[in-house]
Amino acid sequence: MIRSYRFAMSASNSRRKFTLRARDWTLNLGERTLVMGILNATPDSFSDKGRYYAPQEAIDRAWQIAEEGADILDIGGESTRPGSQRISAEEELRRVMPILEALAAGRKYPIPISIDTSKLAVAKASLECGAAIINDITSLQKDPGIGSLAAGQDAALVLMHMRGEPSNMQTIAPSKDILADIDIWAKEAVARAQNSGVSSENIVLDPGIGFGKTAAQNLEILRNLDRLAAAGFPVLVGTSRKSFIGALLKKAAGELVLGTGATVAASIIYGAHIVRVHDVAAIRQVADVTDAIVNA
């Protein structure tokens, strides 16, 4: 007896293509997944435990990230791990400016630099030192002036969804409908940016995996990335070494390269344009192979 099978899949196999403006850079999104390499210049990162807190180690790692195949470097000077507390703009500048200044001097750094901050003073100083992207986990809610700054400098702006703040995001009551929450957030965040003068060609949306979501909700978001993509903007996903992967595998943050790779592959299949990761060399391979499958 011959049986016929019908398969249904909600994953997208044809990501919408975008041209993202980021000051002097033009990034083509959709044909090839861009890898954003993470550089945490903090003493208390949940994943690398302050490994790149010393400026020279951070600078060396920045060059290594580019050599490993990253398309964007994302520098952060304030930890956003669960339970972390905010630091002053002065302290954040003390951590990130030596790195930015070193990369701006001498030979040209080969990929665009993103500054991971929600402080106007840090964003402004970073753009003055060559950064092209502002990655704001608060979506302009902490410091709305970042929107006007991005607009005036033609910088790209990443808007991320977060429930609560890093200090309490894992202790607040779970959302009853996380996808609906993200739908509402996307409309409001984009409106804030556009009302500040930011062009649609400069906006990227990040659903904020792990930021106030349960493990099950993180998986639900990944399965439904096409829903966020329907908002009409490029999608960035950051699952790297997140605790929900560790919980699934019963492994520590430093042992989650393969688990992260699985979430990255799924993210690409379901519509992500940019993936933000620590383990650039390994994930570059995952992205390239997944792109080949998706584009075929």
What is the tens place of the pLDDT at every residue in 75-87? 999 988 777 688 9
Helix (H, G, I), strand (E, B) or coil at 174: coil
3-state helix, strand, coil in the chain (%, to 5): 40, 15, 45
Q: What would the two tokens of residue 77 be?
A: 């000077």
Name the one residue in this structure whose structure tokens are 């550089």.
39
Asked if residue 8 belongs to a domain, the reply is no
In a domain, 65, yes or no: yes
d(CA 26, CA 28): 7
Catalytic residue positions, numbered: 242, 276
Domain count, the chain: 1
Give the separation between CA 293 and CA 296, rounded to whole angstroms: 5
Burial class (CB in 10 A: 0-12, 13-18, 19+), 67: exposed
CB atoms within 10 A of CB 63: 15
Amino acid type, 38: I
Residue 14 forms part of a structural domain: no
With 60 as the cut, is the pLDDT of residue 11 above it?
Answer: no
pLDDT tens readout for residues 25-77: 999 999 999 999 999 998 865 555 556 668 899 999 999 999 999 999 999 99
pLDDT tens figures, 275-294: 999 999 999 999 999 999 99
Q: Is residue 5 part of a domain?
A: no
Q: What confidence tier does 192 reach under pLDDT thresholds 50, 70, 90?
A: very high
Is residue 1 in a domain? no
Domain with 113, as residue range(s), is 20-162+169-295
- Residue 98: strand, helix, or coil: helix
Asked whether residue 4 is assigned to any structural domain, the reply reads no
Over range 138-152, report the average pLDDT: 97
DSSP lists the bridge partners of residue 76 as 40, 116
Identify the CATH number of the domain in which residue 252 sits: 3.20.20.20
Residue 10 included in any domain: no
User: Per the structure block, which two tokens stand in for 64?
Assistant: 């290594």
* pTM for the structure as a whole: 0.92
Residue 2 has pLDDT above 50, yes or no: no
- How big is the CA angle at 24 (ends 20 and 29), to the nearest 5 degrees? 20
Bridge partners, 205 (sequence order): 159, 235
In a domain, 29, yes or no: yes
Contact assessment for residue 99 and residue 69, using Cβ atoms and an 8 Å cutoff: no
Average per-residue pLDDT for the chain: 91
Two tokens, residue 20: 């993202």
